[in-house]
Amino acid sequence: MEEALIPEEEASRLAELRSFEILDSPAEVSYDDVSHLICNIAGTKIGIISLVDENRQWFKSCVGLDTEQGRETPRSVSFCARTILQRQPLIIPDALADPRFRDNPLVVGPPFLRFYAGFPLVSVNGFALGSLCAVDLCPRELADEQVVALTRLARQVMMQMELRRESLQLQRLRKHYEGVKENSIVLDPGASLIPLPRVGALEQLLSREQIIQMMDVIFGMETDACFTLLRCQFKEYGRVSATLGGRLAEHLIDEGARRLLNAIPPNASAARFSDSEFIVLLPHVADRDVATGMAQRLVDLVGQPFRIHEHKLPLTAAIGIALCNGNYDSSDVILTDASMALRIASFAAKSQFRFIDSETRRHAQESYELEGDVREAIQARNISPFFQPLVDLVSGEPLGFEALARWQRGYDHFVAPSVFLPIANEAGITGELDLQVIEKALAAVPLLAREVPFRAMLLSVNLSAQLMDDPALRPRFLNLIRTNPMPKGWQLQVEVVEEAMQGSGAELEQFLYQLTEMNVRIVIDDFGTGYSSLGRLHTLPIHGFKIDRCFVDQIDDRSNPSNKLLKAMLVLANDLGLSTTAEGIEADAQRQWLLHQGFRHGQGFLLAKPMSLVDAAAYLHRLRLLPPAINRVDGRPPALRRGWRQRLKGLLR
């Protein structure tokens, strides 16, 4: 064989090659993924990604060939050196029939290569650094479509290497400026933090363009495409980015990427598709059971919250799955289907996965239509409050009302919040919805106050995380309070979810203290279902919390009783001087157990259902015959004689 000549620009080419810091680096799964794809496209047994330095051909990845004796071959006998020289694809149908290669040691000896197709890896600076190779032990031919596909794949490999080089250069730049550890970057005391584009596990992922082109290559083959596609979204990314900053959000998403990579098999490829969304492609498999196992592993792995510094952040994944087995012909279509499945999965509060099927597609299409209807309902001001009493468990006397959103759709039809709130949250319009409900509830308070002029009462309203996080919505809410003063004896209470307490310190504290200065009580809603910091409960102006109904449902449950948790919550509340309200009381046995333990305030269908403003006024009107009572919200019941308690119970039936 004629020995490959050394190009004139060899020194520059070698400097370019070494700038990628990829020679002799540890194996990376993404390169093996590409090698498997080479075999798939070319129909060969062996797929290789090789780099050539001054004296050797180095295997960055080699699939289908025993490389236990080494990851390199001498440059003088390598086929790839000639591919680099000609800077064009080199295709050898049968090496034994080609005078240039028939005496090559790799042809006449192990591994006895016969077919070779090499596609040069050319950097943006114009240097050929190595090749993407399809190799086989028997002669074969490649169709034009296969040559085009492998050429495009070689460009994608080079793009991945370029991204790696850019990341390394950025890291060196950071170290130069900071002089401290790599992930704490401040150029000067007044400068903002440089965002981290990729950290840790994120560096192992393909880009959006690469995963799409990989699918396009598969669809471009003559055989029917067969693979599994997962679209995975980590739902907390946006809120963490808005409240705690982009750096912390990147650490959160990097942890999500790490858990995702641990959940998928080695031959699957993963890419970051958007800020909070990942794509997983599992080649050659379109099996529902396999996809279910992979998705369930990810759900299990993200079950534990992520801790960083003083923050304990939830990590919730929504996963949409589409199986391709000859039923798709383009990446756009299968990505759209997976997106529809992802949308339905994202409506669940906890991590969940959904397959695209006729039912899921119908639900997704209905949800898109419903989102449009909800937007129109907000614009038409058709979202109204219903009022559910907050009740003293000892006397049965109402302490106030919680305003709950209802969508009036038609003359006398109201849509339950479980139908439209997940849609509103996914669409990012929950904050606007909150403001409309709060505005109408505040306007209704004077009408309710007329019915009980001598009673101290609460109006409790909900603040979603979107409203809490939005710097444009918070002032509007504060203005609503100023322009709608509460009647004498009434106090406004806001309910916020636990995760909202993880917001950025200064802005969150300023907002909460503004509320307390306006005589607004602050309680944590659905306590125990999120991840709150006890330290923040102690330092922020929190007056109490509402215990989620899931704990009340499981009182004395045979398999998983919540009794000990409820007792611990009450001890915590008493130690911190906070009030408690148990939600979801639907059985008298639950009320009796809560009373026996020391709980004093409750809410639920057993005590009173949500009602319209007219019904709420009638509910209060029945209390007019009773003597004045000063309601308390500090955990102690009002002083009523036993006879009055019995009479009250009769009136409220």
pLDDT in tens, 481-499: 999 999 999 999 999 887 6
Neighbouring residues of 263: CB distance < 8 A, sequence distance ≥ 6 = 294, 297, 298, 301
**Higher-confidence position of 383 and 365:** 383
Average predicted confidence (pLDDT) for the chain: 81
In this prediction, residues 48-54 reach a mean pLDDT of: 88
Q: Please report the domains of the chain, with CATH numbers, ordered by start residue.
A: 10-161 (3.30.450.40), 196-356 (3.30.70.270), 372-652 (3.20.20.450)
Per-residue pLDDT, 189: 35
Tokens standing for 308? 């960083």
For 410-420, the pLDDT digits (tens) are 666 777 788 88
- Average the pLDDT over 512-522 and give the result: 92
The pLDDT, as a whole number, for residue 411 is: 67
Q: Is the pLDDT of residue 504 over 90?
A: no
Answer yes or no: pTM beyond 0.85.
no
Count CB atoms within 10 A of the CB of residue 119.
Answer: 25
Say whether pLDDT at 104 is over 60: yes
- Top pLDDT among 243 and 20 is at 20
Between the alpha carbon of residue 652 and those of residues 456, 600, 611, 619, 644, the distances in Å are 19, 18, 14, 8, 12
Q: What is the pLDDT of residues 281-332, one digit of tens each?
A: 988 888 889 899 889 988 888 877 777 666 667 788 899 999 998 888 889 9
List the one residue out of 650, 631, 644, 651 whose CA is nearest residue 452.
631
| pLDDT one-digit tens code per residue, 134-191 | 999 999 999 988 998 999 899 888 888 887 777 776 666 555 545 433 443 333 333 3
221 or 207, greater pLDDT: 207
pLDDT of residue 23: 78
Is the distance from CB of 318 to CB of 342 less than 8 angstroms?
yes
Residue type, 372: G
Model confidence over 74-88: pLDDT tens digits? 887 888 888 877 778
Cα–Cα distance measured from residue 581 to residue 635, given in angstroms and rounded to the nearest whole number: 9
What is the C-alpha to C-alpha distance for residues 320 and 226, in angstroms, rounded to an integer?
17
Taking only the tens place, the pLDDT of each residue in 335-371 is 999 998 998 888 777 788 999 887 777 777 777 777 7
pLDDT exceeds 70 at position 196? no
Distance separating alpha carbons of residues 253 and 233, to the nearest angstrom: 10
pLDDT given at position 609? 93
226-234 and 317-325: which strand pairing? antiparallel
Q: How far apart are CA 442 and CA 403, in angstroms?
A: 9
Q: At what angle do helices 563-576 and 588-597 cross, to 10 degrees?
A: 40
**Which residue would you say has higher pLDDT here, 594 or 454?**
594
Weakest-pLDDT range from 254-263, 486-495, 606-615: 254-263
Residue 369 has a pLDDT of: 78
> Which percentage of the chain shows pLDDT scores above 70?
83
